[in-house]
Amino acid sequence: MDAVQGTLDELGTPLREVTFVVFDLETTGGSAAEHAITEIGAVKVRGGEILGEFATLVDPGSPIPPFISVLTGITDAMVVAAPKFSEVLPSFLEFVQGAALVAHNAPFDLSFIRAACAANGYPPPVNPVVDTADLARRVLTRDETPNCKLGTLARLFRSATEPCHRALADARATVDVLHGLIGRVGSLGVHTLEDLRGFVRAPTPEQQRKRHLAEGVPGAPGVYVFEDAKGEALYIGKSTNLRNRVRSYFTASETRSRIREMVGIAERVRTIVCATALEAEIRELRMIGSTKPRYNRRSRFPERVVWLKLTDEPFPRLSIVREVKDDGGAYLGPFGSSRTADDARTAMHEALPLRQCTERLSPRVRRAACALAEIGRCGAPCEGRESQEAYDRHVRGARHAMEHDAEIVFSAMEARMRRLSAEQRYEEAAVDRDRLAAYVRTAARMQRLRSLTRIPQMVAASPAFDGGWDIHVVRYGRLAAAGVMPRGAHPVPYVDALVATAETVVPGPGPTPAASAEETECVLRWLDSPGVRLVRVEGDWALPARGAGRLTERIERAYQGLRSDRREGRPLR
C-alpha cells in the first residue's frame, strides 16, 4: 500500500475554519480576587466574517472607583439596573462554546472569567486561547511599533474601531488586530490554530541563536549574570542549579516578553558559583542593588525605602525620612513608599497625642497652638500648656508602640473604625483599616528583623542533599560566611574555620544595621525552614511578648472580610 502524504490542512484546523470569540472586560480593578466586572463585550468571527456580538453592562455589586469611571466612562448610575455577572455568565459560556477565545492580555480577562465560574459553580472554560498581545510581541519588531498596547496595534493595522476602554469597542478593535497578526504569521508557515498556538510557545529565533551562551555553565548553586557586548549587566538571577536555569532561558518555557527581549541583546552569561542556595539568594540581592540591571524589576533600589522616625528633640514628633542616623531617634520601617509611611503615622497619631507640626520646639520658645490643640489631639507644648515631662509620656508610649507593643495603636484605630461603621461611613472605615494595616504589618516586620539584627553572631546549619550540612554565619542580620560540611565530618573544625574567615561586620544604626531588610528576611526564612539547627548564638533570639506579630492575623481576617463584603455587595464593615 502506497503511503500518502497528508496536506497541511489535515494536520490541524485551518485558521479560515476556526470560530474565534474575541472578548474584552472592563473591571473595577486589577485583581480578580478583589475586584469585579463592570462590562463584557465579545465578537464571534470566522473566516473574516462577523457571526454575532455579545455585550452588556454588569452590576459589580460595589461602588466603581472614581478613577475607573474616568478611564472607562462607566459610572455607578449606568450599572444600577444592569444584571449581576452571575446572571450574565451562563449566556456568555454558551456564546463561546466550541470557539477559540481571543483577548488582548488574555490572562487578565480569563482570570476574572475563571473566578466567576468558581464562585457560581461552573467549570472554567477549556477553550483554546490566543493572546493577541503575546502574539504581537512575537511577530512585530520595535521598528514597527513602540509597544504592543491595543490602541497602538489598532492604529498599526488601521482598525475600523478605536479602542476606548469600553468592552465591545475594544473587542471589535481586537478582531482587526487578530486578523492583521494572522496575515503576518501566514508567511511564517502558520496556517492552522495549532500552528498559531505553537508559534507563540516556540522559542524565538533570538533564543535559538543564543543557546551557545549556556555552554559550560556549571550545575551548582550560584548567581548568573546576562551581559551585553559592553559587559553591562542586563539581568541577574540565582538558582540551585545554574546549568538547568540558564538553559531554560533558551527554550519555550521562557515566555516573558521582557526576558526574551533581554536574551536577544545578551552576548555572554557570567556565573558565580556559591557554596549554598542561601548564599546565592543573598549575592543576587546585593548584586541587583549595586548594579541595577535594567531587566530586573525587583530589589533594584533598596535605598529608596523610607522610615518613620521619632525625632530626638525636646518635643519629638513623627517624621518620614530616607536615612537612618545614629542620632538618638527611634525608627519604624522600612516602608516601600512615603504614602505607606504616612498611613502608619496617621494610625499612631490616632492613639498618641504627639504634635504634628514640623517646627523644632524647645521649652523656652512659645507660639500659637494649631487647631489640633482645640480638639484635644495635641497637648499644645508650643504654648506651654503641656510640660516637657508630661509630653515625655507620649514619647515613651510611641517608642514602646514602635518597638514592643502595638496594642495601644490597634485599640485606638479599632475603636475609631467601629464608630465610623456604626455611622455607616464604611469607606472611611476602610481607609482607616488600610492605615492600621500599614502600621501593624511594618511594626511586625521590623520587630522580627530586630530579633536577628541585634545578635552579634549566629551560626546555624541545615541538612544538605548529599547528607552533609550547609553552614552559615550571620552577624547582625547579615550573611557573613557560607560553607558546606561533608557527611560524617566532625562539625567543630568546620564551624571554627568558617567563623574565623567570616566577614567582619561593623553594625550601623537602626533596625537593619548591617544589611538590607530583604537580606535579613532571606536569612530569617532560611532559619524557619525545616531541619535548620542553631549551632552557636551570642545573645538572645526572641520577639517581644506583646509584639505586633500577634495582631497581623486579625488584620488579614479584616481584609478577607472586606473582600467577602465586596463580592456579596455588602457595605464595608
User: Is-catalytic flag, 165?
Assistant: yes
Q: Would you give the end-to-end CA distance of the chain in angstroms?
A: 76
C-alpha separations of 145 from 190, 205, 256, 266, 512 in Å: 22, 19, 18, 22, 45
Which 3 state secondary structure label does DSSP give 189? coil
Residue type at 310?
L
532 grid coordinates: 535548620
**Consecutive H or E run containing 292:** none
Question: From CA 550, how far away is CA 541, in angstroms rounded?
Answer: 17
Q: Judge contact between 295 and 259, C-beta under 8 A.
A: yes
287 grid coordinates: 548584586
**Consecutive H or E run containing 175:** helix 167-186
Q: Judge contact between 522 and 381, C-beta under 8 A.
A: no
Angle at the Cα of 225 (from 224 to 226), degrees rounded to 5? 125
> Residue 510: which of 373, 307, 240 has the closest Cα?
307
Q: Judge contact between 75 and 63, C-beta under 8 A.
A: no
Which is the catalytic residue, given 165, 179, 400, 404?
Answer: 165
> Residue 299: which of 324, 282, 280 has the closest Cα?
282
Q: Judge contact between 246 and 213, C-beta under 8 A.
A: yes
Residues classed as catalytic: 165
